[in-house]
Amino acid sequence: MPRESKANKTARAARIFAELGKLFPDAHCSLNYSNSLELLVATILSAQCTDERVNIVTADLFAKYPTLDAYLAATQEEFEQDIRSTGFYRNKAKNILAATARIADVYGGDVPQTMDELLTLGGVARKTANVVLGNAFGINEGFVVDTHVGRLSGRMKFTTETNPVKIERDMMAIRPQALWSLDSHLLVFHGRGHCTARRPDCETCPLAKKKLCPSAGKV
């Protein structure tokens, strides 16, 4: 089978994302937050954990730690118990407390707004940095690749890669930069609503019905 040209893939992606935009007009970040610090903490907690569980935990967590100073005063042991149900709580607690300390010591108390600076914080890799930049600051530095985005980008033949960084590169190449954050939300919503991991619902999927998905009926 001949390799699809970038122009054809870009055009096909435009049709697919236009359809997803109609299907999920309210697509947004599923994590609850009211400021950049809360989003950073919530995103770190979301590793290997559902957004629903994180939102349950942060409802109490953000009330207990309303400011950066509150995190700075927290002990490792107490914070571990505050986030225990999100899993990997020891490492997450260590990372969050290290990140907040660095924000205070190096960045004047403000969550940094560049990829390079965010990557210096505990528990922050490209996915977390992209979530914070795109949703808290409206900066489309990259394309968020979580499990849903990774799965759907492969099923839709946008990429053959399995490494998140390489998937991100391929998605950035075929979509307008201004839409990177929104596009990731659209894929997440579709991944939860129709194109699930175990059994994609191709029978009712608008993309399948309109013959836009190359994997329809084949997964």
How does pLDDT run across 51-61, given as a tens digit for each residue?
A: 999 999 999 99
Say whether 209 is catalytic.
no
Catalytic residue among 9, 51, 127, 183: 127
- pLDDT higher than threshold 90 for residue 3: no
Q: What's the whole-number mean pLDDT along residues 196-216?
A: 94
What's the fold here for domain 36-136?
A: Endonuclease III; domain 1 (1.10.340)
pLDDT the model gives residue 202? 95
Contact of 184 with 197, CB cutoff 8 Å: no
Based on the residue annotation, tell me whether 127 is a catalytic residue of this protein. Answer: yes
Averaged pLDDT for residues 178-188: 98
CATH no., domain 6-28+143-209: 1.10.1670.10
Contact criterion met (CB below 8 Å) for 123 and 133: no
Select which of 51, 82, 92, 146 is catalytic.
146
Residue 99: the pLDDT is 98
Tell me: the pLDDT tens digits for 76-114?
A: 999 999 999 999 999 999 999 999 999 999 999 999 999
* pLDDT band of 48, cuts 50, 70, 90: very high
3-state secondary structure of 110: coil
Overall average pLDDT of the 124-133 stretch: 98
- Which residue in this structure is represented by tokens 């260590």? 94
Domains 6-28+143-209 and 36-136 share a fold: no
DSSP H helical ranges for 28-139: 36-45, 51-64, 68-72, 76-82, 89-106, 115-118, 126-136
Q: Which pLDDT score is estimated for 219?
A: 83
Q: What is the DSSP letter of 3?
A: P
Residue 4 three-state SS: coil
* Contact partners, residue 41, CB within 8 Å, separation at least 6: 58, 61, 62, 71, 96
Angle at the Cα of 45 (from 44 to 49), degrees rounded to 5? 120
* 1 pLDDT above the threshold of 70: no
CA distances from 196 to 53, 110, 192 (A): 19, 37, 6
- Amino acid 129 reads A
